[in-house]
Structure 1
Amino acid sequence: MTAIEIVTAYSIALSKGDIPTAFSHFSPDAKWHQPGKHQFAGTKTGLEAIGKMLGDMMGATQGSLVIEPTGALMSNGNLVSFPVHFSGKIGDKTVDMNGVDLFEVVDKKIVQVWLFSEDQVAEDEFWG
């Protein structure tokens, strides 16, 4: 499988709520770099920490967090760029913006993910 095929398989599983299959595409010691200055920001290492963060984000938004692709995945060697749109609601606060997720794939496993947001200040305010 190519890097794009691996990231695509992860994305499809995640969109179906199939977390075990989604996480099967990650290296056990993967790193997730969540940008910003909010409760979820920082680097999470390992599937347990990444899973807890994603679960806590879904809990905070009462399941309203939606991440959808907005364009073609692009690769440069073992890096895959994934343009996304994300939205969600916490109480009376909403987030609705574009971003880019950058995946690094080594030996057919996702080893790192970096997220980029079009308005990090607004995203920080949303997550608190």
Structure 2
Amino acid sequence: MKHEVMKVFTAYRDALEKGDFAGAFATMSDTVVWHMGGESSLSGTIIGKQALGERLGEFAKRSGGTFKVMTNWAASNECFVAASVVSVAEKGSDKLNDPGIDLFKIENGKIQEVWTFAEQQSAEDKFWG
């Protein structure tokens, strides 16, 4: 199971790094549940690929297309993958460069649920509004 879980995560990560959003979304369940940490207007729980796509589109819009999540490393345990990530974006002269952890639950060959944790959550909340 460990190798299958990491295979799904790696496909997601590789697609995301290339800007291949269709490829990244192909690794997710249609009913994916995404828990975005924090208190900003973009925080909260998003259910389903369509709603997630709309929310991620708002991140892109607010950052003028500069929003990216880069993975430093990832490790798995049973159906979970913990990924050390850095979220970066720019809005005018404001810059976001925030390390964090994303926790993925992967079952049946698809990402089922994700929780995001930012090291500097209050700075992210302020950045996204």
| Bucket of the pairwise TM-score, normalised by the shorter protein | over 0.9
- Deviation (angstroms), 1:81: 0.5
Give the Cα separation in 1 of the matches to 2:21 and 2:72: 22
Aligned to 1:56: 58
Identity, % of aligned positions: 35
SS at structure 2 position matched to 1:83: strand
Q: Which amino acid aligns with 2:11?
A: A
Large movers: runs of 4+ above 3 Å: none
Give the Cα separation in 2 of the matches to 1:7 and 1:57: 22
Q: Which amino acid aligns with 1:78?
A: C
Give the Cα separation in 2 of the matches to 1:42 and 1:118: 17
Number of matched pairs: 127
SS at structure 2 position matched to 1:14: helix
Over the aligned positions, Cα root-mean-square deviation in angstroms equals 1.0
Give the Cα separation in 1 of the matches to 2:22 and 2:90: 25
Render the CA deviation track for 1:27-58: whole Å, top value 9, x for unaligned: 10010000111111000000001011111101
- Deviation (angstroms), 1:11: 1.1
Which segments of 5 or more consecutive residues in structure 1 lack a partner in the other structure? none
Render the CA deviation track for 1:83-120: whole Å, top value 9, x for unaligned: 01121111232211201111000101100010000011
Which segments of 5 or more consecutive residues in structure 2 lack a partner in the other structure? none
TM-score of the two chains, using structure 2 as the length reference: 0.94
Aligned to 2:108: 107
> 1:67-106 alignment to 2 at 5 Å?
67-71=69-73, 73-106=74-107
Aligned to 1:38: 40
Q: Which has the higher mean CA deviation after the structures are superposed, 1-10 or 37-46?
A: 1-10
